[in-house]
Protein backbone atom coordinates (compact mmCIF):
# COMPACT_ATOMS: atom_id res chain seq x y z
CA UNK A 1 0.00 0.00 0.00
CA UNK A 2 1.35 3.34 -1.08
CA UNK A 3 0.93 6.51 1.01
CA UNK A 4 -0.76 9.36 -0.79
CA UNK A 5 -0.02 12.76 0.74
CA UNK A 6 -2.14 15.83 0.12
CA UNK A 7 -1.51 19.54 0.45
CA UNK A 8 -3.36 22.63 -0.69
CA UNK A 9 -1.45 25.06 -2.87
CA UNK A 10 -2.61 28.69 -2.68
CA UNK A 11 -2.75 30.11 -6.17
CA UNK A 12 -4.54 33.42 -5.57
CA UNK A 13 -7.40 35.18 -3.86
CA UNK A 14 -10.75 36.60 -4.93
CA UNK A 15 -12.12 40.15 -4.31
CA UNK A 16 -14.01 38.86 -1.27
CA UNK A 17 -10.79 37.50 0.20
CA UNK A 18 -11.76 33.91 -0.62
CA UNK A 19 -8.64 31.81 -1.17
CA UNK A 20 -8.05 30.06 -4.49
CA UNK A 21 -6.51 26.69 -3.73
CA UNK A 22 -5.49 23.65 -5.73
CA UNK A 23 -5.10 20.15 -4.23
CA UNK A 24 -1.69 18.55 -4.77
CA UNK A 25 -1.42 14.75 -4.29
CA UNK A 26 1.96 13.08 -4.00
CA UNK A 27 3.25 9.50 -4.04
CA UNK A 28 6.88 8.80 -3.18
CA UNK A 29 9.19 6.30 -4.87
CA UNK A 30 9.74 3.20 -2.74
CA UNK A 31 13.00 1.32 -2.66
CA UNK A 32 15.86 0.01 -0.53
CA UNK A 33 19.24 1.69 -0.08
CA UNK A 34 20.72 0.50 -3.42
CA UNK A 35 17.70 1.34 -5.44
CA UNK A 36 18.20 3.65 -8.41
CA UNK A 37 15.37 6.11 -8.70
CA UNK A 38 13.21 6.23 -11.81
CA UNK A 39 11.94 9.36 -13.55
CA UNK A 40 9.63 11.64 -11.58
CA UNK A 41 6.19 12.52 -12.93
CA UNK A 42 3.86 15.53 -12.86
CA UNK A 43 0.25 15.23 -14.06
CA UNK A 44 -2.33 18.05 -13.97
CA UNK A 45 -5.93 18.36 -15.17
CA UNK A 46 -8.66 20.94 -15.78
CA UNK A 47 -6.59 24.02 -16.74
CA UNK A 48 -9.51 24.77 -19.07
CA UNK A 49 -12.76 24.97 -17.09
CA UNK A 50 -14.99 22.68 -19.15
CA UNK A 51 -12.31 19.99 -19.66
CA UNK A 52 -13.15 17.97 -16.59
CA UNK A 53 -12.43 14.35 -17.57
CA UNK A 54 -8.78 14.62 -16.48
CA UNK A 55 -9.96 14.93 -12.86
CA UNK A 56 -11.63 11.52 -13.18
CA UNK A 57 -8.44 10.10 -14.73
CA UNK A 58 -6.42 11.42 -11.77
CA UNK A 59 -8.93 9.75 -9.44
CA UNK A 60 -8.48 6.42 -11.25
CA UNK A 61 -4.69 6.84 -11.33
CA UNK A 62 -4.62 7.37 -7.54
CA UNK A 63 -6.88 4.34 -7.02
CA UNK A 64 -4.44 2.21 -9.07
CA UNK A 65 -1.18 3.75 -7.88
CA UNK A 66 -1.90 3.32 -4.19
CA UNK A 67 -1.56 -0.45 -4.75
CA UNK A 68 1.52 -0.34 -6.99
CA UNK A 69 5.21 -0.14 -6.24
CA UNK A 70 6.80 2.86 -7.93
CA UNK A 71 10.39 3.85 -8.72
CA UNK A 72 9.73 7.53 -9.31
CA UNK A 73 7.92 10.27 -7.37
CA UNK A 74 4.50 11.15 -8.78
CA UNK A 75 2.65 14.46 -8.27
CA UNK A 76 -0.98 14.78 -9.36
CA UNK A 77 -2.96 18.03 -9.54
CA UNK A 78 -6.69 17.94 -10.36
CA UNK A 79 -8.70 21.21 -10.61
CA UNK A 80 -5.48 22.97 -11.65
CA UNK A 81 -7.31 26.21 -12.44
CA UNK A 82 -9.98 27.01 -9.82
CA UNK A 83 -11.07 30.21 -11.61
CA UNK A 84 -11.78 28.43 -14.91
CA UNK A 85 -13.26 25.42 -13.14
CA UNK A 86 -15.98 27.58 -11.53
CA UNK A 87 -16.65 29.81 -14.52
CA UNK A 88 -20.27 28.97 -15.36
CA UNK A 89 -22.67 30.87 -17.61
CA UNK A 90 -26.17 29.39 -17.61
CA UNK A 91 -25.88 25.69 -18.38
CA UNK A 92 -22.31 25.88 -19.66
CA UNK A 93 -18.85 25.92 -18.17
CA UNK A 94 -16.73 28.48 -19.98
CA UNK A 95 -13.20 28.74 -18.67
CA UNK A 96 -11.14 28.49 -21.84
CA UNK A 97 -10.13 32.16 -21.66
CA UNK A 98 -9.36 34.43 -18.71
CA UNK A 99 -12.54 36.59 -18.66
CA UNK A 100 -10.55 39.70 -17.62
CA UNK A 101 -7.80 39.62 -20.25
CA UNK A 102 -9.31 37.32 -22.89
CA UNK A 103 -6.09 35.25 -22.95
CA UNK A 104 -6.30 31.46 -23.29
CA UNK A 105 -5.55 29.95 -19.85
CA UNK A 106 -3.10 27.53 -21.49
CA UNK A 107 -0.98 30.30 -23.09
CA UNK A 108 0.33 31.93 -19.92
CA UNK A 109 3.33 29.76 -19.02
CA UNK A 110 6.86 31.11 -19.09
CA UNK A 111 9.92 30.36 -21.22
CA UNK A 112 12.92 32.65 -21.60
CA UNK A 113 15.04 31.26 -24.42
CA UNK A 114 17.85 33.79 -23.89
CA UNK A 115 19.25 31.95 -20.85
CA UNK A 116 19.93 28.71 -22.74
CA UNK A 117 22.85 29.47 -25.02
CA UNK A 118 25.03 30.90 -22.19
CA UNK A 119 24.15 27.82 -20.09
CA UNK A 120 25.19 25.46 -22.90
CA UNK A 121 28.50 27.28 -23.39
CA UNK A 122 29.19 27.19 -19.67
CA UNK A 123 28.32 23.47 -19.33
CA UNK A 124 29.78 22.02 -22.52
CA UNK A 125 32.19 19.90 -20.43
CA UNK A 126 29.75 18.95 -17.62
CA UNK A 127 28.39 15.44 -17.07
CA UNK A 128 24.76 14.62 -18.00
CA UNK A 129 23.78 14.53 -14.32
CA UNK A 130 25.42 17.91 -13.64
CA UNK A 131 23.59 19.35 -16.64
CA UNK A 132 20.32 17.83 -15.43
CA UNK A 133 20.62 19.28 -11.92
CA UNK A 134 21.95 22.72 -12.93
CA UNK A 135 19.52 23.29 -15.79
CA UNK A 136 16.55 22.21 -13.68
CA UNK A 137 17.72 24.66 -10.99
CA UNK A 138 18.08 27.41 -13.58
CA UNK A 139 14.46 26.96 -14.69
CA UNK A 140 13.18 26.79 -11.13
CA UNK A 141 15.06 29.96 -10.15
CA UNK A 142 13.70 31.68 -13.24
CA UNK A 143 10.11 30.83 -12.30
CA UNK A 144 10.68 31.73 -8.61
CA UNK A 145 11.94 35.15 -9.77
CA UNK A 146 8.76 35.64 -11.79
CA UNK A 147 6.62 34.67 -8.80
CA UNK A 148 8.37 36.41 -5.94
CA UNK A 149 10.40 39.31 -7.30
CA UNK A 150 8.18 40.85 -9.91
CA UNK A 151 7.86 44.56 -9.08
CA UNK A 152 4.84 45.17 -11.28
CA UNK A 153 2.99 42.01 -10.23
CA UNK A 154 1.35 39.20 -12.15
CA UNK A 155 -2.04 38.64 -13.76
CA UNK A 156 -4.39 36.16 -12.05
CA UNK A 157 -3.62 33.62 -14.78
CA UNK A 158 0.16 34.03 -14.63
CA UNK A 159 0.11 33.51 -10.85
CA UNK A 160 -1.76 30.23 -11.31
CA UNK A 161 0.31 29.11 -14.30
CA UNK A 162 3.73 29.84 -12.77
CA UNK A 163 2.90 27.95 -9.57
CA UNK A 164 1.85 24.91 -11.60
CA UNK A 165 4.96 25.31 -13.73
CA UNK A 166 7.14 25.30 -10.60
CA UNK A 167 5.77 21.80 -9.88
CA UNK A 168 6.17 20.69 -13.51
CA UNK A 169 9.82 21.82 -13.69
CA UNK A 170 10.67 19.53 -10.77
CA UNK A 171 9.52 16.46 -12.73
CA UNK A 172 11.05 14.55 -15.64
CA UNK A 173 7.79 13.48 -17.32
CA UNK A 174 4.86 15.91 -17.57
CA UNK A 175 1.29 15.23 -18.69
CA UNK A 176 -1.26 18.03 -19.06
CA UNK A 177 -4.75 16.49 -19.28
CA UNK A 178 -7.21 18.35 -21.52
CA UNK A 179 -10.18 17.51 -23.74
CA UNK A 180 -11.41 18.84 -27.08
CA UNK A 181 -14.92 20.36 -27.48
CA UNK A 182 -16.65 17.26 -28.94
CA UNK A 183 -13.64 15.13 -29.66
CA UNK A 184 -11.81 11.85 -30.11
CA UNK A 185 -8.79 11.09 -27.95
CA UNK A 186 -5.56 12.55 -29.28
CA UNK A 187 -2.07 13.33 -28.07
CA UNK A 188 0.27 16.28 -28.66
CA UNK A 189 3.77 14.79 -28.81
CA UNK A 190 7.10 16.58 -29.33
CA UNK A 191 8.93 15.29 -32.39
CA UNK A 192 11.94 14.00 -30.42
CA UNK A 193 9.93 11.51 -28.34
CA UNK A 194 7.56 10.03 -30.95
CA UNK A 195 8.43 6.50 -29.82
CA UNK A 196 6.64 7.13 -26.52
CA UNK A 197 3.33 7.86 -28.30
CA UNK A 198 3.06 4.10 -28.98
CA UNK A 199 2.61 3.43 -25.26
CA UNK A 200 -0.49 5.55 -24.64
CA UNK A 201 -3.76 3.92 -25.70
CA UNK A 202 -4.50 6.86 -27.97
CA UNK A 203 -4.96 6.30 -31.71
CA UNK A 204 -4.18 9.84 -32.95
CA UNK A 205 -0.93 11.68 -32.35
CA UNK A 206 -0.02 15.22 -33.37
CA UNK A 207 3.70 15.65 -33.78
CA UNK A 208 4.76 19.10 -32.72
CA UNK A 209 7.89 21.17 -33.36
CA UNK A 210 10.07 23.07 -30.90
CA UNK A 211 7.95 26.24 -30.89
CA UNK A 212 6.86 28.00 -27.72
CA UNK A 213 3.33 29.43 -27.74
CA UNK A 214 2.69 29.59 -23.98
CA UNK A 215 1.27 26.08 -23.28
CA UNK A 216 2.47 23.89 -20.38
CA UNK A 217 3.77 21.03 -22.57
CA UNK A 218 5.87 23.51 -24.58
CA UNK A 219 7.02 25.39 -21.46
CA UNK A 220 8.29 22.04 -20.17
CA UNK A 221 9.97 20.52 -23.25
CA UNK A 222 11.09 23.64 -25.19
CA UNK A 223 13.83 24.51 -22.66
CA UNK A 224 15.32 20.98 -22.80
CA UNK A 225 14.89 20.64 -26.55
CA UNK A 226 16.46 24.06 -27.13
CA UNK A 227 19.30 23.08 -24.80
CA UNK A 228 19.80 19.91 -26.85
CA UNK A 229 19.98 22.03 -30.05
CA UNK A 230 22.45 24.49 -28.53
CA UNK A 231 24.68 21.60 -27.38
CA UNK A 232 24.47 20.07 -30.86
CA UNK A 233 25.73 23.34 -32.35
CA UNK A 234 28.66 23.06 -29.94
CA UNK A 235 29.31 19.47 -31.07
CA UNK A 236 27.77 17.51 -28.19
CA UNK A 237 24.80 15.11 -28.44
CA UNK A 238 22.34 15.07 -25.56
CA UNK A 239 19.65 12.36 -25.43
CA UNK A 240 16.34 13.50 -23.93
CA UNK A 241 14.50 10.16 -23.90
CA UNK A 242 16.68 7.90 -21.78
CA UNK A 243 19.38 7.96 -19.13
CA UNK A 244 19.67 10.84 -16.70
CA UNK A 245 18.07 13.30 -19.09
CA UNK A 246 14.70 11.68 -19.55
CA UNK A 247 12.57 14.74 -20.28
CA UNK A 248 9.22 14.34 -21.99
CA UNK A 249 6.01 16.34 -21.94
CA UNK A 250 2.63 15.75 -23.57
CA UNK A 251 -0.80 17.31 -23.78
CA UNK A 252 -3.29 14.46 -23.55
CA UNK A 253 -6.71 15.22 -25.08
CA UNK A 254 -9.07 12.77 -23.40
CA UNK A 255 -12.25 13.22 -25.47
CA UNK A 256 -15.09 15.72 -25.08
CA UNK A 257 -15.55 18.58 -22.62
CA UNK A 258 -18.35 18.79 -19.98
CA UNK A 259 -18.23 15.01 -19.41
CA UNK A 260 -17.14 12.73 -16.59
CA UNK A 261 -17.01 9.02 -17.49
CA UNK A 262 -15.36 6.99 -14.71
CA UNK A 263 -15.18 3.75 -16.73
CA UNK A 264 -13.46 5.55 -19.60
CA UNK A 265 -11.23 7.32 -17.07
CA UNK A 266 -10.09 3.89 -15.83
CA UNK A 267 -9.08 2.97 -19.40
CA UNK A 268 -7.26 6.29 -19.78
CA UNK A 269 -5.47 5.72 -16.47
CA UNK A 270 -4.31 2.27 -17.72
CA UNK A 271 -2.95 3.92 -20.88
CA UNK A 272 -1.02 6.45 -18.81
CA UNK A 273 0.36 3.65 -16.58
CA UNK A 274 1.46 1.79 -19.71
CA UNK A 275 3.49 4.88 -20.70
CA UNK A 276 4.89 5.34 -17.17
CA UNK A 277 5.80 1.65 -17.08
CA UNK A 278 7.69 2.01 -20.39
CA UNK A 279 9.60 4.95 -18.89
CA UNK A 280 10.60 2.97 -15.78
CA UNK A 281 8.37 4.75 -13.26
CA UNK A 282 6.70 1.51 -12.08
CA UNK A 283 8.68 -1.18 -10.26
CA UNK A 284 10.00 -4.17 -12.23
CA UNK A 285 7.33 -6.50 -10.79
CA UNK A 286 4.64 -4.58 -12.77
CA UNK A 287 6.49 -4.81 -16.10
CA UNK A 288 3.94 -7.19 -17.69
CA UNK A 289 0.88 -5.67 -16.01
CA UNK A 290 0.71 -2.38 -17.87
CA UNK A 291 1.34 -2.74 -21.57
CA UNK A 292 -0.14 -0.76 -24.46
CA UNK A 293 -3.20 -1.99 -26.35
CA UNK A 294 -2.78 -3.14 -29.93
CA UNK A 295 -4.31 -0.51 -32.20
CA UNK A 296 -3.61 1.37 -35.41
CA UNK A 297 -1.94 4.61 -34.37
CA UNK A 298 -2.08 7.53 -36.79
CA UNK A 299 0.37 10.41 -36.72
CA UNK A 300 0.09 13.87 -38.27
CA UNK A 301 2.47 16.82 -38.19
CA UNK A 302 0.99 19.93 -36.59
CA UNK A 303 1.29 21.86 -39.88
CA UNK A 304 -1.03 19.27 -41.48
CA UNK A 305 -3.65 19.47 -38.70
CA UNK A 306 -6.27 21.64 -40.36
CA UNK A 307 -9.28 23.54 -39.08
CA UNK A 308 -12.32 23.77 -41.36
CA UNK A 309 -14.09 27.10 -40.85
CA UNK A 310 -17.77 27.24 -41.72
CA UNK A 311 -18.35 28.84 -45.14
CA UNK A 312 -21.82 29.98 -43.99
CA UNK A 313 -23.93 30.53 -40.90
CA UNK A 314 -26.62 27.97 -40.06
CA UNK A 315 -27.63 24.89 -38.10
CA UNK A 316 -25.19 21.99 -38.31
CA UNK A 317 -25.72 18.25 -38.61
CA UNK A 318 -22.23 16.83 -37.88
CA UNK A 319 -21.85 13.77 -40.12
CA UNK A 320 -18.19 12.74 -40.16
CA UNK A 321 -17.15 10.17 -37.55
CA UNK A 322 -14.02 10.70 -35.49
CA UNK A 323 -11.08 8.50 -36.30
CA UNK A 324 -12.62 7.15 -39.53
CA UNK A 325 -10.92 7.88 -42.83
CA UNK A 326 -13.19 10.25 -44.76
CA UNK A 327 -12.77 10.16 -48.54
CA UNK A 328 -12.42 13.34 -50.63
CA UNK A 329 -15.86 14.69 -51.54
CA UNK A 330 -17.69 12.94 -48.66
CA UNK A 331 -19.65 15.44 -46.54
CA UNK A 332 -18.31 16.42 -43.10
CA UNK A 333 -21.47 18.31 -42.19
CA UNK A 334 -24.87 19.22 -43.57
CA UNK A 335 -25.95 22.80 -42.83
CA UNK A 336 -29.63 23.62 -42.48
CA UNK A 337 -30.82 27.06 -43.62
CA UNK A 338 -34.55 27.30 -42.96
CA UNK A 339 -34.51 30.96 -44.08
CA UNK A 340 -33.96 29.63 -47.62
CA UNK A 341 -36.69 26.96 -47.60
CA UNK A 342 -38.95 27.19 -50.68
CA UNK A 343 -36.98 29.90 -52.51
CA UNK A 344 -33.39 28.61 -52.19
CA UNK A 345 -31.32 25.70 -50.83
CA UNK A 346 -32.31 24.71 -47.31
CA UNK A 347 -29.55 22.05 -47.07
CA UNK A 348 -25.85 22.41 -47.87
CA UNK A 349 -23.24 19.64 -47.75
CA UNK A 350 -19.73 20.78 -46.81
CA UNK A 351 -16.93 18.64 -48.26
CA UNK A 352 -13.15 18.69 -48.62
CA UNK A 353 -11.05 17.92 -51.71
CA UNK A 354 -8.79 15.43 -49.94
CA UNK A 355 -8.88 12.42 -47.62
CA UNK A 356 -8.87 13.35 -43.92
CA UNK A 357 -9.35 11.87 -40.45
CA UNK A 358 -11.79 14.00 -38.40
CA UNK A 359 -10.51 14.52 -34.83
CA UNK A 360 -12.91 17.00 -33.20
CA UNK A 361 -15.80 19.33 -33.94
CA UNK A 362 -17.48 22.45 -32.55
CA UNK A 363 -19.67 21.88 -29.49
CA UNK A 364 -22.84 23.64 -30.69
CA UNK A 365 -25.19 22.94 -33.60
CA UNK A 366 -25.69 26.62 -34.42
CA UNK A 367 -22.71 28.32 -36.05
CA UNK A 368 -21.79 31.69 -37.50
CA UNK A 369 -19.93 31.97 -40.77
CA UNK A 370 -16.26 31.41 -39.86
CA UNK A 371 -16.84 29.17 -36.84
CA UNK A 372 -14.25 26.38 -36.52
CA UNK A 373 -16.44 23.40 -37.53
CA UNK A 374 -13.98 20.49 -37.55
CA UNK A 375 -10.32 19.82 -37.00
CA UNK A 376 -8.89 17.06 -39.17
CA UNK A 377 -5.66 15.19 -39.84
CA UNK A 378 -4.47 15.63 -43.43
CA UNK A 379 -1.32 13.90 -44.82
CA UNK A 380 -1.53 11.45 -41.90
CA UNK A 381 0.50 8.27 -41.65
CA UNK A 382 0.53 5.05 -39.65
CA UNK A 383 3.04 5.12 -36.81
ZN1 LIG B 1 -7.73 22.46 -23.10
**What CATH number is given to the structural domain containing 183?**
3.40.630.10
User: 296: how many CB neighbours lie within 10 A of its CB?
Assistant: 8
- pLDDT value for 78: 98
Q: Which of 228, 260, 295 is the last residue of a domain?
A: 295
- pLDDT value for 302: 97
- How close is the Cα of 45 to the center of ligand 1, in Å? 9
- How close is the Cα of 47 to the center of ligand 1, in Å? 7
- How close is the Cα of 55 to the center of ligand 1, in Å? 13
- pLDDT value for 286: 92
Q: Which of 274, 295, 316 is the last residue of a domain?
A: 295
- How close is the Cα of 67 to the center of ligand 1, in Å? 30
Q: What is the CATH number of the domain that holds 334?
A: 2.40.50.100
> Do residues 225 and 367 share a domain?
no
Bridge partner list, 358? 376
- pLDDT value for 12: 95
- pLDDT value for 241: 84
Residue ranges near ligand 1 (ion) with Cβ within 5 Å:
48, 51, 178
- Is residue 95 assigned to a domain? yes
- How close is the Cα of 204 to the center of ligand 1, in Å? 16
> Do residues 17 and 60 share a domain?
yes
- Is residue 300 assigned to a domain? no
- pLDDT value for 377: 98
- pLDDT value for 242: 78
- CA 60 vs CA 55, 195, 218, 274, 309: distances in Å: 9, 25, 26, 14, 37
- Domain tally, the chain: 2
- How close is the Cα of 177 to the center of ligand 1, in Å? 8
> Do residues 321 and 277 share a domain?
no
Domain span at 373: 305-382
- pLDDT value for 355: 97
- pLDDT value for 11: 96
- pLDDT value for 105: 97
Q: Which residues of the chain are modeled with pLDDT < 50?
A: none
> Do residues 283 and 325 share a domain?
no
- pLDDT value for 203: 97
- How close is the Cα of 228 to the center of ligand 1, in Å? 28
- pLDDT value for 31: 78
- How close is the Cα of 307 to the center of ligand 1, in Å? 16
Amino acid sequence: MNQVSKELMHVGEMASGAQLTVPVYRLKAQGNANFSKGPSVYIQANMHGAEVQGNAVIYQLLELLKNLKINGDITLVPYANPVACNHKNGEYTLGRFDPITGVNWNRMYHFDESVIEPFAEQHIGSSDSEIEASFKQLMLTDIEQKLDHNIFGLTTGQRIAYQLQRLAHQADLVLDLHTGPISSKHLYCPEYCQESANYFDIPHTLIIPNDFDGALDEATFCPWWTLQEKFKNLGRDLSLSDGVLNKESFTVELGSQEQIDLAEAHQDALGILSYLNYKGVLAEQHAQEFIPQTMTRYGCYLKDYKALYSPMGGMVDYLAEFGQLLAAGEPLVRILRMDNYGDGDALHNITLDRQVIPILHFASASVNQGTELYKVFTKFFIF
